[in-house]
Chains A and B, each alone.
Chain A
Amino acid sequence: MAAYNLAGRRDNKYKARLKITVFEGGLEAFRDAVEAEFARTRAAFSGVDQALLAEIEAAFAPPALPLRDAGAYHAAWAADADFRAFATQNVVAHKVPGYGIVTVSLKAHGATPGDATAAQMRKLADLADAYSAGELRISHEQNVILPHVALADLPALHRALAAAGLGTANAGLISDIIACPGMDYCALATARSIPVAQELATHFKALGLEQEIGQIKIKISGCINACGHHHVGHIGILGLDRAGVENYQITLGGDATERAAIGEKTGPGFAYDEIVPAIERILRAYLALRQAPEETFIETFRRLGAAPFKAALYDEGARDAA
């Protein structure tokens, strides 16, 4: 922090982030500056206050999660297709046997990604008290997590969520889109983000392709500040202003995980009313190109690169077909 505070540019706010400091001066020079700072301050640094750290760690002691009979879970799994879809899509394994981590989607089709009403927040608080040791999480993907749910309680939780309009079984699917507030709210925005996310979600639901397409991360930013993380979306959408008209640039192959990658720009951008058909062309190309339904979009992209997707995006024949 001290090295960045000294070396970071203060003459141009668009060149002031650490990444620019490292890019312009080189990683080695920045590493040397950090080492020099460390050498200067090391004598006065006696390490992290272990008593304080122990106190903090004690506060994060995990809740008691007793073993529960999961009969209700298996019964609901056998009897209820909606429950099966929810349990498959929105629940992942917990470190404690018999428990799951539940993602409550704030991405109902056509809704604003990340918005929750006061009534929904109260419902989530009540359900956290009843089923998740009183604890909730917010994900950077703009969903709410109930981290400690007994599988035995999952059928009752799913019924309560569905009744509150919070039962959408789409975690990780094409409608689970990250979008910044964009031009609907933000003073920095150069284009709208929220309506693009809404139209993508409702369009692919109407086509009935959401399950077929499977796991995919679409991320939308309404300006270069990239609050919507578009660089690391499998499909990234960046909304720009071209002479007063919204224009959306597409990137492909970004990845936010431990295999992090910056998406590759496909070429010229698309107008507001062209962006949803453009994304559809990319995804129809994916469905045609994948080796098996198990091969996800990003896996197909890694295998084939951007070329076949660019052809689908810009080729006139493909454009007429979509």
Chain B
Amino acid sequence: MYDYTDFDEAFVRGRVAQFRAQVARRLDGSLSEDEFRPFRLMNGVYLQLHAYMLRVAIPYGTLSARQMRALADIADRWDKGYGHFTTRQNIQFNWPKLGDIPDILGALADVGMHAIQTSGNTIRNVTADHFAAAAADEIEDPRPVAELIRQWSTDHPEFQFLPRKFKIAITGSPNDRAVTRAHDIGLRMVRAKGLPGDRGGL
């Protein structure tokens, strides 16, 4: 499985520290909800009907046992003992207290996770076939390309304020389990003659 590099780790830790200060200013009243809104939407925090909601990214829907345990610990410690898996392969916590969210983001960073670009008018979590690297009908694992797109799109300065949210999905199988035809950009691997090593093309 792909583990975050030192660069990823430093970037996520920096973002947690920055958001911690923004939350502190919201809680002491120096930021209004209108002023705070763009900051929270950079970090996956929504204001829902009854509470704040934190949406955590699960890139291309792949996670380790260690990461799943961290999600369980967050649900127990800072939410109501459960989480909700979403139609973009992410998880939402529906009842966090705003003041706890920086600590939750810190706990996520401990296991190489974050909530960046799970909200706002940005390129959202790149989704992929949930049977990737296992499916019998697969041409190639689509996740390396998904990870490449994640690295390219994360904090991309040109695409932080798009007209609207933007969703990309990728599949490496002819049987499309990733709904690629109903995305802003759908990527489908196909067998292409003439590519080196008889590799699939996009």
Contact = CB atoms under 8 A, between A and B. Distances in A.
The answer to whether A and B belong to the same complex is yes
Interface of A: 1-2, 4-5, 8-10, 13, 16-19, 21, 48, 52-53, 56-57, 59-60, 62, 92-95, 99, 101, 106, 112, 114-119, 121-122, 124-126, 128-129, 134-145, 147-148, 178, 180-181, 183, 185-187, 189, 227-229, 231-232, 256-258, 260
Contact of A136 (B68, B132, B162): B68
Instruction: Identify the 8 closest CB pairs spanning chains A and B, nearest first.
Output: A8-B163, A260-B181, A16-B164, A121-B72, A139-B130, A125-B68, A125-B65, A147-B134
Given A115-B83, A121-B69, A187 B49 contact: yes
A60 B159 contact: no
A312 to B, nearest CB: 27
A131 B5 CA distance: 27
B123 A118 contact: no
A136 B60 CA distance: 11
Contact of A124 (B68, B91, B181): B68
Interface string B141-169: 10110011001000000110011111000
B72 A122 contact: yes
Contacts of B3: 59
Given A8-B164, A138-B130, A145-B131, A185 B85 contact: no
Contact of A62 (B65, B94, B130, B133): B133
Interface in B46-67: 46-50, 53, 58, 61-66
B84 interface: yes
Contact of B1 (A59, A124, A125, A186): A59
A134 B136 CA distance: 20
Contact of A144 (B85, B147, B159): B85
B196 to A, nearest CB: 11
Given A4-B163, A141-B87, A147-B133, 4 more contacts: A60-B147, A140-B178, A181-B84, A229-B87
A115 B84 CA distance: 4
B90 interface: yes
Interface in B97-144: 121, 123, 127, 130-136, 138, 141, 143-144
A121 B68 contact: yes
Nearest to A225: B165
A60 B143 contact: yes
B131 A147 contact: yes
Contacts of A114: 84-86
Given A62-B133, A140-B89, A112 B163 contact: no
B182 A260 contact: yes
5 contacts: A60-B133, A92-B135, A118-B73, A121-B75, A140-B179
Contacts of B127: 140
B38 interface: no
Contact of A137 (B61, B69, B147, B174): B61
B86 A142 contact: yes
Contact of A185 (B2, B49, B162): B49
Contact of A145 (B121, B130, B151, B182): B130
Nearest to A122: B72
B159 to A, nearest CB: 6
B175 A140 contact: no
B90 A138 contact: yes
B86 to A, nearest CB: 7
Nearest to B133: A62
Contacts of B91: 138
- A106, A112, A124, A138: most-surrounded residue (chain B CB, <10 A): A138
Contact of B63 (A92, A116, A138, A258): A138
B71 interface: yes
Given A4-B166, A231-B182, A258-B174, A59 B134 contact: no
